[in-house]
């Protein structure tokens, strides 16, 4: 039996679907939002919070492999405590439960944010670590501290591997997470930034994770990222996919500072989380380049879809969802 945490998220749902396609038996756990994977004879869905130690012990019964996809992504200052609880304490609970259950292997989903993204003209590799100077987010700090829990588990005898995906693209819920980029472009949001980051197709992230789990690779971390691209280019590719007007106003550092301050004031009045925060505004202007060669060295047959193919297929899948509504 394979355990997948965070199975209601974009990556967890895709991973679960791929494992079922391969004839594997999956126990998928979710916290609040139900799992968006159709019922299947080999699928058992269980509601369980990773902060519930007793509940985790129960779901670990008969489990031999664990994919830990559950995590909280937030760049809102008020969520710092919850980020720590879910991404650090939650991961420690998964590591401890895996050790107690004697599972064969744990695959932990971290983030490129744990590598410390703010580095001038340096290509980011797996050897880099998060520090206060190289980060602009509490999220990155908690993902780094979560990784330390996994390394502790490895030291205690748990075979484990860590993946650090860049921005994951897929036809998920566009009111939530990274798929929100597609909604912004569909709504003809006029602004773009010349910041650069890495992108990966959710299907390739799932494929890489299964191949790493099924290999004898352990005690390693891997950047999962197909291509480095500017937000401007990505927005233009999405606009072309939806046949919408592409973003045409460039965001400057001054403007970004103004926008996040305005959003912060607005959120205080409305009580809703700000769409743009100081952290996301800074990230959008940063040029970050990731080196994805390590995965290819360890898995020579692995290949990524091109960003152009990913975006065009994601636009088509999201358009189909809209048409069906």
Q: Determine the pLDDT at residue 275.
A: 52
- Extract the tokens encoding 167: 């921005």
Q: Are strands 191-192 and 249-250 parallel, antiparallel or unpaired?
A: parallel
What secondary structure letter does DSSP report for 231?
Answer: H
Note the pLDDT tens digit of each residue in 44-96. 999 999 999 999 999 999 999 999 998 877 766 677 888 888 899 999 999 99
- pLDDT confidence bin for 225, thresholds 50/70/90: very high
Asked if residue 267 belongs to a domain, the reply is no
Mean pLDDT of 180-187: 85
Between these two residues, 1 and 278, which has the higher pLDDT value? 1
Query: What does pTM read for this prediction?
Result: 0.91
CA dist., res. 191 & res. 112, Å (int): 25
| Least-confidence region, from 226-240, 256-270, 282-296 | 256-270
Asked if residue 189 belongs to a domain, the reply is no
Which residues, 6+ apart, have CB-to-CB distance to 79 below 8 Å? 72, 138
First to last CA, the chain: 36
Contact between 50 and 95 under an 8 Å Cβ cutoff? The reply is: no
CA dist., res. 161 & res. 211, Å (int): 11
Backbone angles phi, psi at 33, to 5 degrees: -85, 130
Q: Determine the pLDDT at residue 172.
A: 84
CA dist., res. 264 & res. 277, Å (int): 7
Residue 143 has pLDDT above 60, yes or no: yes
| Least-confidence region, from 149-153, 241-245, 267-271 | 267-271
Q: Determine the pLDDT at residue 263.
A: 54
Residue 235 has pLDDT above 70, yes or no: yes
Give the position of tokens 């999220």.
139
Calculate the alpha carbon distances from 12 to 3, 27, 172, 174, 315 in Å: 11, 12, 11, 16, 20
CA dist., res. 111 & res. 223, Å (int): 8
Mean pLDDT of 258-272: 56
Which residues are paired to 28 by β-bridges?
Answer: 4, 45
Asked if residue 133 belongs to a domain, the reply is yes
Query: Buried b vs exposed e over 178-199: b needs ≥16 C-beta within 10 Å?
Result: bbebbebbbeebebbbebbbbb
Asked if residue 141 belongs to a domain, the reply is yes
Asked if residue 187 belongs to a domain, the reply is no
Contact between 48 and 29 under an 8 Å Cβ cutoff? The reply is: yes
CATH code of residue 115: 3.40.50.720
If one counts the domains in the chain, the total is 1
Q: Determine the pLDDT at residue 32.
A: 81
Query: Buried b vs exposed e over 284-304: b needs ≥16 C-beta within 10 Å?
Result: bbeebebbbeebeebbeeeeb
| Least-confidence region, from 41-50, 106-115, 169-178 | 169-178
Note the pLDDT tens digit of each residue in 277-303. 555 556 666 788 999 999 999 999 999
| Residue-number span of the structural domain to which 216 is assigned | 2-171+198-225+289-306
- pLDDT confidence bin for 7, thresholds 50/70/90: very high
Using a 10 angstrom Cβ sphere, with 0-12 exposed, 13-18 middle and 19 or more buried, the burial of residue 177 is middle
Between these two residues, 23 and 321, which has the higher pLDDT value? 23
Rg value, the chain, Cα? 19
- For all residues of the chain together, what is the average pLDDT? 87
Q: Determine the pLDDT at residue 84.
A: 85
Residue 154 has pLDDT above 60, yes or no: yes
Q: Determine the pLDDT at residue 260.
A: 47
Q: Determine the pLDDT at residue 250.
A: 80
Mean pLDDT of 250-267: 60
Asked if residue 317 belongs to a domain, the reply is no
Q: Determine the pLDDT at residue 64.
A: 97
Residue 192 has pLDDT above 90, yes or no: no
Q: Determine the pLDDT at residue 169.
A: 93
Which residues are paired to 197 by β-bridges?
Answer: 229
Asked if residue 207 belongs to a domain, the reply is yes
Between these two residues, 143 and 134, which has the higher pLDDT value? 143
Q: Determine the pLDDT at residue 119.
A: 72
Alpha helices by DSSP H, the chain: 10-21, 53-59, 80-84, 90-101, 138-155, 180-186, 202-214, 231-242, 253-270, 278-285, 293-298, 307-324
Asked if residue 188 belongs to a domain, the reply is no
Backbone angles phi, psi at 77, to 5 degrees: -50, -35
Mean pLDDT of 97-115: 95
- Extract the tokens encoding 312: 């065009």
What secondary structure letter does DSSP report for 88?
Answer: I
CA dist., res. 117 & res. 263, Å (int): 24
Mean pLDDT of 246-259: 69
């Amino acid at each position: 039996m394979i355990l997948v945490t965070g199975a209601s998220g974009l990556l967890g749902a895709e991973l679960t679907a791929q494992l079922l396609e391969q004839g594997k038996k999956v126990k998928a756990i979710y916290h609040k939002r139900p799992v968006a994977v159709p019922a299947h004879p080999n699928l058992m869905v269980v509601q369980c919070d990773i902060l519930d130690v007793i509940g985790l012990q129960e779901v670990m019964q008969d489990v031999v492999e664990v994919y830990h996809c559950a995590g909280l992504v937030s760049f809102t200052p008020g969520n710092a405590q919850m980020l720590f609880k879910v991404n650090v304490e939650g991961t420690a609970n998964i590591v401890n439960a895996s050790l107690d259950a004697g599972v064969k292997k744990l695959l932990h989903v971290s983030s490129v944010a744990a590598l410390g993204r703010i580095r001038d003209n340096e290509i980011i590799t797996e050897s880099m670590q998060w520090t206060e100077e190289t980060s602009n987010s509490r999220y990155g700090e908690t993902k780094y501290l979560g990784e330390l829990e996994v390394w502790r588990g490895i030291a205690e005898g748990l075979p484990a591997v860590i993946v650090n995906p860049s921005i994951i693209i897929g036809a998920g819920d566009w009111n939530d997470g990274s798929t929100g980029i597609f909604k912004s472009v569909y709504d003809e949001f006029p602004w773009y930034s010349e910041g650069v980051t890495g992108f990966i197709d959710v299907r390739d992230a799932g494929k890489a994770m299964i191949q790493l789990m099924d290999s004898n690779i352990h005690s390693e971390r891997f950047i999962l990222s197909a291509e480095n691209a500017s937000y401007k280019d990505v927005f233009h590719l999405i606009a072309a996919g939806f046949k919408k007007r592409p973003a045409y106003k460039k965001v400057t550092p001054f403007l970004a500072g103004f926008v996040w301050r305005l959003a912060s004031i607005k959120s205080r009045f409305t009580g809703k989380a700000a769409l743009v925060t100081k952290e996301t505004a800074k990230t959008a202007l940063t040029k970050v380049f990731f080196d994805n060669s390590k995965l290819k060295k360890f898995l020579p047959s692995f290949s990524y879809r091109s960003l152009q193919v990913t975006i065009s297929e994601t636009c088509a899948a999201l358009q189909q969802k809209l048409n069906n509504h």
